[in-house]
A = this chain, B = another copy of it.
Amino acid sequence: MAETATETAATSVLDSADVEACNAPHQLAWRTLARTHAAVSGRVQEALTEAGMPPLAWFEVLSTIAENDSRMKMGELAEALVITRGGLTKLVDRLVKAGLLERAFCESDRRVSYATLLPAGAELLGEMLPIVSAELETAFAANITVAEAEQLTGTLERVRGTACSGG
């Protein structure tokens, strides 16, 4: 309505099919997913900053490498973190400059390079972990049960599957 008003820039901009599409359960789930991710990320980031710690991205890198025998190929790491290769190169550059990681080259295939965790990186990870964990406990444990968390993980992994492999 209100199409007679002269001020209204663009009322009723979406036809009924569009509105339906916007409010479909899957669309709603996606929007909630995106905003929950942003909100929780922000909280964790804030907690790290207040504790004088490096950004969340550094934690992601350190923890991912630590869980993979403290050594990962750059390509694998980029895929695990779901960021571009170029972006990962520069991110790792910063961690190397900070003395947390070291680059190593594969002997059998000189094209590949590894990012390896240094003791200082492991130590920092140990300091960041409780802060991140505490924040996640606040966000998750306080609001959903363990069973719900596991179900959430399962559902999300199925969604992610198609998004990645296209199969």
A interface, CB within 8 angstroms of B? 8-11, 13-15, 18, 21-22, 24-30, 32-43, 60, 63, 66-67, 69-71, 80-83, 102, 116-119, 121-122, 125-126, 129-130, 133, 136-144, 146, 148-153, 155-164
A-B contact pairs, 12 of them (CB 8 A): A9-B70, A9-B116, A13-B121, A13-B122, A14-B129, A21-B129, A30-B136, A32-B153, A33-B40, A40-B163, A138-B163, A144-B159
Q: Out of B11, B39, B125, B162, name the residue touching A13 (CB < 8 Å).
A: B125
Residue ID in chain B nearest A126 by CB atoms: B18
Nearest Cβ on chain B to A81's Cβ, whole angstroms: 8
Q: Out of B9, B26, B34, name the residue touching A140 (CB < 8 Å).
A: B26
Q: Out of B71, B133, B161, name the residue touching A9 (CB < 8 Å).
A: B71
How far, in whole Å, are A41 and B37 apart by their CA atoms in the complex? 12
Nearest Cβ on chain B to A67's Cβ, whole angstroms: 7
Interface of A is mostly: helix
